[in-house]
Amino acid sequence: MSLPEPIQRAIEAFAALPGIGPKSASRLTFYLLREQSAALRDTLAEAIRGLNDVAYCQQCFNFTEAGQPLCPVCRDPHRDDGLICVVEEPLDVEAIERTGVYRGQYHVLHGALSPIEGIGPDDLKIRELLARVQAGRVHEVIIATNPSMEGDATAMYLHRLLAPLGIKVTRLARGLPVGGDLEYADQNTLRGALVERKEM
């Protein structure tokens, strides 16, 4: 390849990102090489360096700033620390926060059980969740894992672990998406919507 070494390195770095192939990596690199992209280059470099200052919250395992043992949600005294919403990934916390209706805390598992891929309970933050619940105060755990096969299996596993502790364990309701067509719904979604129907 005849490209200067810094350009090649940038292309390789972009191509290492998920969903970015060699062509997109080259396009991004050459976009950043334009004269008017100088400010963007600096901003990006600074933002990426800043990621080194991110750590895990010691309570919920969402991301927090380095040097802060707890994330903003866990630090917030106005949030109900007896209510824990269990999610698979940090981005799921953002999705639930956007609803504006949840006032409890979170617990991020960092994945879901997948026996076929060899992802077991010890690979997730399940032991930490159990310890958190056993420490007292928690009155309800809302399991908000994805409505997928792996998410459902994780929910059932957590229920099996937590139910004997005598706390309320709930699962996000399953139903039809807003704006969807009934005729396109699959059997599992429709079945869930029927079983969990609400009186009007």
Name the residue nearer to another protein (CB basis): 90 or 121: 121
Q: Which of 1, 78, 179, 198 binds another protein (CB under 8 A)?
A: 179
Q: Which of 4, 19, 100, 166 binds another protein (CB under 8 A)?
A: 19
Q: Which of 87, 152, 162, 171 binds another protein (CB under 8 A)?
A: 152
Closest CA to 174 of 132, 139, 146: 146
Q: Which of 43, 68, 134, 188 binds another protein (CB under 8 A)?
A: 188
Q: Which of 12, 42, 117, 196 binds another protein (CB under 8 A)?
A: 117
Please report whether residue 189 would count as binding another protein according to CB under 8 A: yes
Going by C-beta distance under 8 Å and a sequence separation of 6 or more, which residues neighbour residue 146?
88, 92, 112
Please report whether residue 130 would count as binding another protein according to CB under 8 A: no
Please report whether residue 127 would count as binding another protein according to CB under 8 A: no
> Least distance (Å) from another protein to the CB of residue 177?
5
Please report whether residue 166 would count as binding another protein according to CB under 8 A: no
Sites for another protein among residues 34-63 (CB under 8 A): none
CA distance 55 to 53: 7
Please report whether residue 161 would count as binding another protein according to CB under 8 A: yes
Closest CA to 171 of 192, 190, 194, 198: 192
Residue whose structure tokens are 């309570």:
59
> Least distance (Å) from another protein to the CB of residue 66?
28
Task: Assess contact for 132 and 107: CB atoms under 8 A.
Answer: yes
Question: Strand (E) positions, the chain?
Answer: 54-56, 63-65, 80-87, 104-108, 140-143, 168-171
Going by C-beta distance under 8 Å and a sequence separation of 6 or more, which residues neighbour residue 173?
192, 196
> Least distance (Å) from another protein to the CB of residue 157?
6
Please report whether residue 67 would count as binding another protein according to CB under 8 A: no
Phi-psi region of 139 (alpha: psi -120 to 50; beta: other; left: phi over 0): alpha
CA distance 63 to 152: 24
What does the binding site for another protein look like in residue numbers (CB under 8 A)?
18-19, 113, 115-118, 120-121, 148-149, 152-153, 156-157, 160-161, 177, 179-181, 184-189, 191
